[in-house]
Amino acid sequence: MERILYIPFDHLHRHYGVLAKADPKTDLVVMVESARMTTGSKWHKTRLFFMISAARHFAAELESAGFTVIYKQAATTIDGLSELPKNYAALPIICAQPSSHRQGASLKEFGVEFVENDFFLTPRELFSQWALTQKNFLMESFYRAQRVRLNVLVENGKPVSGQWNFDKDNRLPPRKNHTYPQYLTHTYDEIDNEVALQLGIEVPVEWATTRAGALRALRNFIENHFAEFGPYEDAMTTDNWALNHSLLSPYINVGLLHPSEVVEAAVNKFEDGSIPISSAEGFIRQLIGWREYINGMYWHLGPDYAQLNHLNAKRKLLPLFKDSTKTQMNCLKHIVSDIEDRAWVHHIPRLMVLSNLALIAGVNPQEFLDWMRSAFIDASDWVMVPNVIGMGVHADGGQMMTKPYAAAGAYISRMSNYCKPCKYDPKKRTGDDACPFTTLYWDFLERHRAEFAGNHRMAQQLAGIDRLSDLEEVQTRARALLAGLEKGTI
Ligand SMILES: Cc1cc2nc3c(=O)[nH]c(=O)nc-3n(C[C@H](O)[C@H](O)[C@H](O)COP(=O)(O)OP(=O)(O)OC[C@H]3O[C@@H](n4cnc5c(N)ncnc54)[C@H](O)[C@@H]3O)c2cc1C
Ligand code: SF4
């Protein structure tokens, strides 16, 4: 053997990362299942199951392809690498650039050499070059440049169908009595059973743990859900847990699918003529726009970004985030219970319900981030940190987004079927049945009035406070709500 190739659990693709140029005759593959992850973290068991089972399957596949693989269980990754047999001690250890600041720093300190991380469509250096030329980091301008650079849905430098952006068509509320196409339940094997048994859970069959399963999930999305993805991508409903979302983020984030394969499948299907442009553009924007932008920002903004708390939010994590029985708010009861069941909800519950509540209730950003990181199947540092700190709770004071995503109950009421059966009324801001989102929205704006006064994008919202005749009552109700939320009685 001439080299050791270290494969982190989110680099699981035979043709990318350090494996792209690997040779079974000269390269020893090492993977480490660290106790820090399996027993030291408070991760959702479904997430742990997915990460461990996908890694064990990948190790087995590499062995079948002729590689010598050492799959070690150790206290930490570094312990695992230090405990390799003595005859390998002199070999260089090579890895693709890791996906988190912390892992990068500890592997570098240990002496691991890095090759470029090509699990994304945008090299880190290229993103930095873009970011350094921007006054503010508008995702839309990055996205348009990506469309041209990657030649996706573009003809002669112009967007196909004449528009870059079909966002306005993609904000429909959920349909009533609609039957959604099925999602796959995945078949499981001995490895899955063993991991589930170890974790003391049933195999969560919603999630595949192999590349073959991930490819099946991709095909199912493209054939059955893609056409209706766009218009309803922001809708929330108790009728169906996934609507037309792709459910592909876990696979893309660990490397079982490469984003280029997903983009290619989507573009090919669109070119067949059966997919409306609003769905095609909406989906492509998520992948070549949002996903790449978020990863680029994570590296551009650096490791200290995760600790920002611009609005000085100090409240402890509310009990309802960890336990769906600790709230009577129908939206949160459903969303948190969906997370308890599957470790997944789509982007609007994450942004406009969970993060929105954390923002307007003044929950400490780092406590909220820790919970989000532990709760979702697709949570990786590079993606959670900018989405939560920047987009979700505005803890960066607007470095990423020009204004906070704060919203009252009216938004949730318009975009979901949660409110009708709820004991609270989304239109009310005072009184015992006032919707907590509505009351806390106004209270939040008033609390931070001085902070937002210089932001012209907030002018309309701030003018709204001046029109409130019952601001004092709102503030009194807000205090009671916050106390109740802390106790888990609201
Ligand atoms: C507060 C908050 C936290 C989030 N945390 C995560 C996270 O930990 N991991 C994660 O993968 N996504 C995260 N997202 C983005 C998004 O919610 C998920 O990618 C999406 O819900 C995954 O489901 P899906 O595969 O069905 O996505 P779809 O709706 O089908 O979208 C397609 C793909 O686009 C990509 N994508 C879309 N939006 C984003 C985004 N904002 N950032 C990065 N990728 C995006 C994902 O790869 C996703 O698979 C977060 C968003 C918010 C607002
Ligand atoms: S009324 Fe308010 S708390 Fe109830 S479901 Fe609607 S938004 Fe949520």
Ligand nearest to the CA of 375: 1
The pTM score is: 0.97
Nearest by Cα to 432 from 355, 488, 363, 484: 484
Contact 465, 449 (CB under 8 A): yes
Closest residue CA from atom 6 of ligand 2: 419
- Any ligand 1 atom below 6 A from CB of 245: yes
Pocket test for ligand 2, best of 336, 413, 417, 481 (most atoms within 8 A of CB): 413
Sheet of strand 113-115: strand arrangement: 68-74, 27-34, 3-6, 93-96, 113-115
Ligand 1 centre to CA of 234 (Å) is 12
Alpha-carbon gap, residue 378 to 47, rounded angstroms: 7
SS3 state at 30:
strand
Closest residue CA from atom 34 of ligand 1: 286
Residue stretches of the chain with pLDDT short of 70: none
Ligand 2 centre to CA of 421 (Å) is 9
Closest residue CA from atom 21 of ligand 1: 346
Atom of ligand 2 nearest to the CA of 329: 3
For the chain, percent helix, then strand, then coil, each to nearest 5? 55, 5, 40
Q: What is the DSSP letter of 395?
A: T
Ligand 2 centre to CA of 312 (Å) is 26
- Any ligand 1 atom below 6 A from CB of 387: yes
| Gyration radius of the chain over CA positions | 23
Please provide residue 188's backbone torsions phi and psi, each rounded to the nearest 5 degrees. -125, 165
What DSSP string describes 89-121? TTS-EEEE--SSHHHHHHHHHHT-EEE---SSS
- Any ligand 1 atom below 6 A from CB of 47: no
Please provide residue 62's backbone torsions phi and psi, each rounded to the nearest 5 degrees. -65, -40
* CA quadruple 425, 428, 434, 436: dihedral sign: positive
Pocket test for ligand 1, best of 245, 383, 384, 394 (most atoms within 8 A of CB): 383
- Tell me whether residue 156 is exposed, middle or buried, using C-beta atoms within 10 angstroms of its C-beta: 0 to 12, 13 to 18, 19 or more: exposed
Atom of ligand 2 nearest to the CA of 424: 1
Alpha-carbon gap, residue 101 to 97, rounded angstroms: 10
Alpha-carbon gap, residue 295 to 128, rounded angstroms: 11
CB atoms within 10 A of CB 335: 28
Q: What pLDDT was estimated at residue 38?
A: 87
Residues contacting ligand 2 via CB (< 6 Å)? 329-331, 409, 412-413, 418-419, 422, 424, 426, 435-437
Domains of the chain, CATH where assigned: 3-115 (3.40.50.620), 124-301 (1.25.40.80), 307-487 (1.10.579.10)
Pocket test for ligand 2, best of 435, 441, 481 (most atoms within 8 A of CB): 435
Pocket test for ligand 2, best of 412, 414, 423 (most atoms within 8 A of CB): 412
Closest residue CA from atom 46 of ligand 1: 249
Q: What pLDDT was estimated at residue 36?
A: 87
Pocket test for ligand 2, best of 320, 327, 354, 424 (most atoms within 8 A of CB): 424
Q: What pLDDT was estimated at residue 234?
A: 96
Closest residue CA from atom 7 of ligand 1: 379
Ligand 1 centre to CA of 375 (Å) is 14
Pocket test for ligand 1, best of 99, 278, 378 (most atoms within 8 A of CB): 378
CB atoms within 10 A of CB 130: 18
Ligand 2 centre to CA of 391 (Å) is 22
Ligand 2 centre to CA of 173 (Å) is 15
Atom of ligand 2 nearest to the CA of 435: 2
Ligand 1 centre to CA of 69 (Å) is 32
Ligand 2 centre to CA of 78 (Å) is 47
